[in-house]
Amino acid sequence: MHASAPLSPDVLGSAEGIVNPYPVYRAFRGPNPVRLMRLPAGATPGQTAPLYSWALLRHESVVAALRDPATFSAYSPQVLRNMPKLPMVHDDPPQHTRLRRLVNKAFSPQRVASLAEPVGRIAQDLLDASGRGPLEFMAAYAVPLPIQVIAQLLGLPPQDYPSLKLWSDAMISYVGIPPEERARKLQALNDYLRQSIAERRAHPREDLISALLEAKVEGESLSAEGILNFTMVLLIAGNETTTNLIGNMMALLADRPELWRRAREDRSLVDPIIEEVLRYESPIQRRPRVTARPVRIGEVELQAGELVDLYFGAANRDPDVFAEPEEFRPGRPENTEHVAFGFGPHFCLGAMLARLEGRISLNALLDRFPVLERGQEPAVRQNSAPLSLGYRSLPLVLG
């Protein structure tokens, strides 16, 4: 962002704001909420006027909203014009609670712990293939590892992994991708998953799609559309957050060679590094809510039906909670308060799996490479998915 230009909160909905939202967070850290333009006119098919929302940027406000689904509903019709209604993501209790029970077993501590060995194998295979020296880390490792892990859980074949990543990226992208192209990719994902579900219906397997077909909510099976959308949730949520976590982590460590050296010698630093990455460069920057009833936030009275964005990335740099929040400081005791995975009923179902993949990845990289440096080419942040903070390209030198 240009230092000389006056900052506007509307920047958060632009490609520039997606790449680096933190100057805007700092500029508007005062009274909440802040009115901003979420999407310009024409950003999605049929959208003839700008879409506005209220931004919550303070930790206290974000946590309060996440605690109160009766007031701040996850069902947001303004956003759902651009994507299908996704189970759990766009559901409130008690429906959210019932649906979450369906997949809790798949992401239980015991089940996630059992994935350590297959995740470790994928990590070693990818690092064997990349070798030492310069590489584009996102394509070589940070993108393929999470998509392979979640696709294996769903039972989807390896040859389809690149397409699955392309389609899931389109689901969360609004800026910088033509609406027609996004619609084509979403339709391709829809068609692919319908076919995969039909195959499991005819020939069940030991995978998550088959488990969804067999699952019941209060004695009733999920509808065909429900199974399709549930599979989308697991696919997208299972790769996007972790890809950004791993990429952001390695970029931050490449700029801190002394911390890399210390972590090689002392692996007790691994988990604190991961938690500080989650706070400092939150992989998911925001989530939308809609006011289900009138509510007062600060000096502003919101009516029912107002679109509200909860900015996790801003909350995680709130100086009222995190001392010197602009500093990257692993091991800070207040990191138990970060909301990188949300909070309350909608706490991220895959948080434990994301942390496992981050831990295995960092240990595997520390084991192999005494040296970590930035590559000669500049890194490129993604600039099309407003909810995410991550890299499109991250040249590194591993030696």
Q: Domain boundaries in the chain?
A: 9-369
- Which residues have C-beta within 8 Å of that of residue 229, sequence separation ≥ 6? 84, 85, 86, 87
Instruction: Please state, in angstroms and rounded to a whole number, the distance separating the CA atoms of residues 342 and 340.
Output: 6
pLDDT at 83: 67
pTM score, whole prediction: 0.90
Give the residue ranges of DSSP H helices in the chain: 15-19, 22-27, 59-67, 77-80, 95-104, 109-114, 116-130, 137, 144-154, 161-172, 179-202, 208-214, 224-254, 257-265, 270-280, 312-315, 351-368
Fold of domain 9-369: Cytochrome p450 (1.10.630)
Q: Work out the burial of residue 191: count CB atoms within 10 Å of its CB; fewer than 13 is exposed, 13-18 middle, 19 or more buried.
A: exposed
CA distances from 6 to 1, 129, 326 (A): 10, 47, 21
Tell me the pLDDT of the chain (399 aa) as tens digits: 544 446 688 888 888 999 999 999 999 988 789 998 887 776 666 677 888 899 999 999 999 999 999 999 998 776 656 666 777 888 888 888 888 887 777 678 888 898 899 999 999 999 999 999 999 999 999 999 999 999 988 999 989 988 988 888 887 776 667 878 888 988 999 999 999 999 999 999 988 888 888 877 777 777 888 888 888 888 887 788 999 999 999 999 999 999 999 999 999 999 999 999 999 999 999 999 999 999 999 889 999 999 999 999 999 999 999 999 999 999 999 999 999 999 998 898 889 999 999 999 999 999 999 999 999 999 999 998 888 999 999 999 999
Residue 285 near residue 22 (C-beta atoms within 8 A)? no
| Count of other CB atoms within 10 angstroms of residue 33 | 23
pLDDT at 3: 45
Looking only at the bridges linking them, the beta strands covering 307-311 and 51-56 are: parallel
pLDDT at 168: 84
Q: Work out the burial of residue 382: count CB atoms within 10 Å of its CB; fewer than 13 is exposed, 13-18 middle, 19 or more buried.
A: buried
Longest C-alpha distance within the chain, in Å?
Answer: 62
Instruction: Please state, in angstroms and rounded to a whole number, the distance separating the CA atoms of residues 32 and 78.
Output: 21
pLDDT at 4: 43
Instruction: Please state, in angstroms and rounded to a whole number, the distance separating the CA atoms of residues 55 and 130.
Output: 41
Exposure on the CB side of residue 190, measured as CA atoms within 13 A: 14
